[in-house]
Amino acid sequence: MGERDRAETARYACLRTTRHAGWEAEGLPSVEIDELDTVVAGFRTERLPLDGEGESHILDTKAACTKLLGAFTKPQPGGLSVWTQPNSWHHFLGDHIVTFSVLSLEAGRSHLRTKWLVHKDAVEGEAPPPLAYAFGQARRGRPGRG
């Protein structure tokens, strides 16, 4: 690991420690929990800070949807991630939730299922440009930006 990578790793570790303390003080569980080999369906969960604006998984890291989920009043609760064994990922953010699962169909062939969930009052077409662009590209079967 080069000097720049070490500095970035240290910076993110500090950000993670600071944000975990703040979220825990606000009643938002954030510390890592691993149950990978003690239960039948293993899982791992942790609330992680997002870099940049820290609001969303969108490329510019700003909230993708102006209607926040649940009781959130600011779009910076980090990303609560839940990974389950053997094949699903769930990311809960202030503005949206995205889930992925992979199902094996046969040797060499699988099916990826993803769902994007937003606030019930969100209106299609009123998304900020980054999210509207990503959804439009996904509908056309093309990769999004980046």
Kindly report, residue by residue over 37-78, the tens digit of the pLDDT: 888 888 999 999 988 778 888 778 888 888 889 888 888 788
Say which amino acid occupies 23. W
Q: Which domain holds residue 124?
A: 3-139
In this structure, what are the phi and psi dihedrals at residue 20, rounded to the nearest 5 degrees? -60, -45
Token code pair at residue 141: 């079967």
* Top-confidence range, 52-61, 90-99, 118-127: 90-99
Report the C-alpha gap between 135 and 116 in whole angstroms: 10
Which DSSP symbol is given to 90?
A: E
CATH of residue 85's domain is 3.90.380.10
The tally of domains found in the chain comes to 1
Average pLDDT in the chain: 83
Question: Whole-structure pTM over 0.85, yes or no?
Answer: no
Residue 79 lies in a domain: yes
| Helix ranges (DSSP H) in 26-126 | none
55 within a domain of the structure (yes/no): yes
Longest CA pairwise span in the chain (Å) = 48
| Residue 131: pLDDT over 60 | no
Instruction: Give the separation between CA 145 and CA 59, rounded to whole angstroms.
Output: 8
